[in-house]
Chain A
Amino acid sequence: MARVVVDVMPKPEILDPQGQAVANALPRLGFEGITAVRQGKHFELEVADDVDDATLAKIAETFLANPVIEDWTVRRVEA
């Protein structure tokens, strides 16, 4: 088994109102110096050894992310 991490982020040109709301809250909470926040999703998959990279890419591209509005990355990490 291996652990695979898929990160999904809104494309840079897509408005991210949730990230903006977080960014706007920080100064109110007394945290200064943070100029921008983007909010995305982080998936951790426990994956059998015979699942290849192409399959993982297909999972990310067709299901975990919507490529119309989101970019994704897949990486294998130490479990």
Chain B
Amino acid sequence: MRVGVVTFPGTLDDVDAQRAVRYADGEAVPLWHGDRDLKGVDAVIVPGGFSYGDYLRCGAIARFAPVMQEVVEAANKGMPVLGICNGFQILAEAHLLPGALTRNHKLHFVCRDQWLKVENNSTAWTGRYDLNAEILVPLKSGEGGYQADQTTLDELEGEGRVVFRYVGDNPNGSRNNIAGITNARGNVVGLMPHPEHAIDALTGPTDDGLGMFLSLLDLVGAGSLQGVGIGTEVKA
């Protein structure tokens, strides 16, 4: 499977995201922000960092990059898309995911290993996890507070679209302790913590994050790439 990883000016974690794809036996394909071209990839990761210096709002300028026009179009057709940290902020600004990420409630940049609970294992990116499994991955962000109006929150909760929830102290003031969410179709997932930094115990706190990339690669065997209802077919 060919998995595109987008690089914007100011992106930091594209190299680790590419490495995570290779660890899961996928082919990582670099995508450049200025190209209106997805190079025929089967899925896209929008990685973390500080695209365009976080000017205006995190993700607000990256959202309009030429490559993002292609990502939005492909995502709306069902292509699996994962946004990590700044990537999550960009997907929210692009309206692929509801809500917004705001300044951490205590204003401090948070950098720590964070326990998360997996509450939806039927997305394109979480099929490998047991429901309610707890995983430990790094969290490093200054604007990770998830905000949405009550109607949107009720919808997310009611439809099981909260994918990851913080365990223990809420690190950033996110409503309902939300760490990651998915769209209605289950192909687009965004989360603030960094699974790509936790794929090998040698270089991360755990290898718990690798499951997200293995989940994606499982879709090849399931034959449900680009398909509707990805999740229902992806139980490993």
Contact = CB atoms under 8 A, between A and B. Distances in A.
Interface stretch (A14-22, A26-34, A50-58, A71-79): A14-22
A25 to B, nearest CB: 12
Given A15-B173, A17-B173, A68 B147 contact: yes
Interface stretch (B12-20, B24-32, B72-80, B96-104): B96-104
Contacts of A15: 102, 105, 145, 147, 173
A18 B99 contact: no
A72 to B, nearest CB: 12
Contacts of B145: 15
B107 interface: yes
A69 B56 contact: no
A15 B102 CA distance: 9
Nearest to B99: A68
B102 A63 contact: no
B60 interface: yes
Nearest to A39: B103
B93 interface: yes
Given A17-B107, A18-B107, A64 B147 contact: no
A6 to B, nearest CB: 12
Interface in B53-95: 56-57, 60, 64, 92-93
Contacts of A18: 103, 107
A63 to B, nearest CB: 7
Contact of B148 (A21, A63, A64, A68): A68
A20 B92 CA distance: 25
Contact of A17 (B56, B106, B149): B106
A15 to B, nearest CB: 6
A22 B207 CA distance: 41
Contacts of B64: 63
Nearest to B107: A17
B148 A66 contact: no
A64 B56 contact: yes
A21 B107 contact: yes
Nearest to B106: A17
Contact of B100 (A21, A64, A68): A68
Given A66-B57, A68-B148, A14 B107 contact: no
Q: Which 6 A-B pairs have the closest CB atoms?
A: A68-B100, A69-B100, A17-B107, A17-B105, A17-B103, A66-B100
Interface of A: 13-15, 17-18, 21, 63-64, 66, 68-69
